[in-house]
Every structure is written in structure tokens, then in C-alpha cells.
Structure 1
Amino acid sequence: MVSFTILLFFAVSGLTLNHADWFTSGKEVVTKDSGNVNVKWVNQPDTTKINKLQLVEYFRNKHQVKGALSDFRIDDRECSMTFNGPGYIADSFVDRETGKYELTVTRLGVFAVINDLHKGRDSGKAWSWIIDISAVLMTLVSISGIILICFIKKKRLSGFILVAVGTIACYLIYKLFVP
């Protein structure tokens, strides 16, 4: 049943990935916010003295920013942070002179979350393990099916013919339609 649930998830998410335009139109929600951080946090002549952790935690606590910090940049005028998660992006830009910031949070909807989870994008190490375990389980289920067909004499020939036809059909479709 675990393999069935995993197979169902990856089948549905494969469909939503293949036809993203069917599932994602108009589902994006963008929220913007602004404010000020303590100028001492960002207005340091030595950029190595800027407390990145303090800034990140400020946005996590004040604005409930989620996702992993994927980018933190510091230049002469501003600090920028990007947080990514499945179906989620948060960008923050902080003016180093004044401490004024702008935050944009984009939620892409439930199908974007499903698609990102299918691809393992911005979903973390734990989800990567789930994908790996799922792949192993689906491989074992497939191999056990092939082994079982070998022991059923009445279905053996037709089973192997169907495997061959399916394999050849996939190969031909790939060669004919994929540039």
C-alpha cells in the first residue's frame, strides 16, 4: 500500500507537470510588505560584520517567511535574501543606509507545491530521502512483477510480449517526437 500511495502521487504529479497550463493559471498569490530593520544590522563598513543570521531570523519571525535561504547577497547599497520552498518564493531587499526593506512573498498554489515535490526542488534533504526510498520501492515492485510473470506459465509469453511492445513503443515515440 505504501508503494501504491507513492505511485499514485508520482503519477498525478507527473500529469500536473506535463500539463502545467491546465492546473496553474491564476493560482499565484503575491503579497508585499515593507518596514525597517535596525540600521546597525546592515550598515557596517566591513560586510563580514553584517549579522546574516539576525536578518534571516527577523524575517522568519516578523513575517513568517518559510523555505530555505537560497541566496544572501550584500553589495554597497543593499542586502538581498531569497527563500525558496515547494511552490514558494520570498525575496527581501534591505537598504543598507536606512534599514528600509521590501519583502515580496509569492505562493504559487497547491499544484506548484505538488510539482516541486515531484522534482525534489526546494524541498530539503528529508524529502530527497523520500524520493530515493520511493524509487527503490517502485523498482522492487516492478522487478517482483517481472519475476512473478516468469512463474505463471499461461501468462509468461503474453507478459513478455507486452513488455517488449511497451518498450519498443516508448522508444519509437521518443525517436519520432522528441527533437
Structure 2
Amino acid sequence: MGNAGAADKAKNNASRAVWLKNLHQWHWISSALCLLGMFLFAITGITLNHAGQIEAKPAITRQKATLPAPLVTQLAAYAAQHDGANAPMPTAAETWLKQQWALNVGGRPAEWSVDEVYLPLPKAGGDAWVRIGLEDGAAEYELTDRGWVSWLNDVHKGRNTGVAWSWFIDIFAGACIVFCLTGLLILKFHAANRPFTWPMVGLGILIPCAIALLFIH
């Protein structure tokens, strides 16, 4: 019986060692992948939380130009067909905007009416728009830059950051979940020799829950 018990114990210890090895491996891999992202999201969490106290001085740039007459005629005809609709600009208009103001419109929908076309160009950390009058061909372009703090805040929220960043946030969130779950299981393995493990975990759960229940209304 003694030999059988020792064999079972050795088997359990070996199984425990394998589990711990795998958990530590996934934990350090996920932590390495998440390191920069966690740091940036933590910093921008602070800037978002104090957005009202961090002064932003927007830099506004305005430019004006006049479209060629043939292009105005083309846009006016296009507007008559799309009055009140949201539709991309014709290729010729997109090409003109790229040549005139280095704008890559990329098929973004514009707001059309018979007398003007308005193209919103929201961006992380700022805003931009183009308005073209269809009677005289007068074009206006305005760019607002709210600074790097606003840019980081928008990156944190995934606001006007594009599809690639949206995918990054999803993958980063998945890696964070792996990091947290492997950390929890590692705590479970070490809890027997560290009596303060579960009280500390419980405290980490209790504090935000208590604050939310007592102070968020």
C-alpha cells in the first residue's frame, strides 16, 4: 500500500508539474503579447478618466478652392439623382480632393442635396469635413486636430480608428482573457502554500463591486 500511495503521489505531482508548466508558458506568452497594449490602455484609462481636467487646444486648419466647371456640372447631375441620400462621391471628385488637399476619401459616404455636398471625415484625435457648393463650385475643407491626448483617448475607445485597429482590440482582449485565466489557475495551484491568496483575490473583486453598488447611481 505504501508503494502504491507513493506511486500515486508521484503521478499527481508529475501531472501538477505538467499543468503548471503549461500554465506558466501560456501566462508569459499572453503577458508578453499584452505588455505594451496593457500599458497604453492603462495610461489612456487615466487620461479618459480625467478628460475634463486635461485641457485640449484644438488646432483648426481651413482651406478653400474652386472646382473646375465640368466637375461641378457632373456633381450637380449626380446630386439631382441622390438628393437627400448618403452616397460616395464620383471618382473624379475623389481624385480632385486627393490632388487638391491630399485627401484619401476612399469611398466614404457623403451627404447629398441639390445645392451642396457635405463629406464628413472623422478621425482619431480630431475631425475633418469637406463642403462643396454645387452652384458656384466653391469647396471648403476644415481639419481639427485636438492633440495627442485626444488621439490616444480615441485609440482607447476604438473611435474612428478603422478596421485593423478594431481587430487588434478584439485579439488583444482575447490575449488578456488568457492572461487572466492562466493567472487565476496558477494562483489556485499555489494557494495551498500561500494563505493570503484567496483573500487578496476576494478583495480585488469586492472593492470594485462595492464602489459600483454604493457610488454609481
Using structure 2 for the length normalisation, give the TM-score: 0.74
Task: With a CA cutoff of 8 Å and minimum separation of 6, indicate the structure with the bigger relative contact order.
Answer: 2
Aligned pair in 2 of structure 1 residues 2, 78: CA closer, same or farther (>3 Å)?
same
Correspondences of 1:85-164 after superposition (within 5 Å): 85-152=123-190, 153-155=192-194, 157-164=195-202
One-letter amino acid of the structure 2 residue matched with residue 72 of structure 1: A
How many Å apart are 1:58 and its aligned residue? 2.5
Distance across 1 between alignment mates of 2:66 and 2:54: 37
Given that residues 67 and 84 in structure 1 are in contact (C-alpha distance below 8 angstroms), is that contact kept between their aligned partners in structure 2? no
Unaligned 5+ runs, structure 2: 1-31, 83-87
Using structure 1 for the length normalisation, give the TM-score: 0.88
Give aligned-pair identity as a percent: 23
Of the three residues 44, 60, 79, the one matched with 2:98 is 60
Aligned pair in 2 of structure 1 residues 51, 130: CA closer, same or farther (>3 Å)?
closer
Of the three residues 76, 92, 103, the one matched with 1:43 is 76
State the Cα deviation string for residues 46-95 of structure 1 (Å, max 9, x = none).
335x9533323422332123677654111121100011221131111111
* Higher strand proportion: 1
Match of 2:41 in 1: 10
Match of 2:216 in 1: 178
Match of 2:3 in 1: none
SS at match of 2:196: helix
How many Å apart are 1:4 and its aligned residue? 1.2
Distance across 1 between alignment mates of 2:126 and 2:107: 12
Given that residues 94 and 101 in structure 1 are in contact (C-alpha distance below 8 angstroms), is that contact kept between their aligned partners in structure 2? yes
Unaligned 5+ runs, structure 1: none
Give the number of equivalent residue pairs.
177
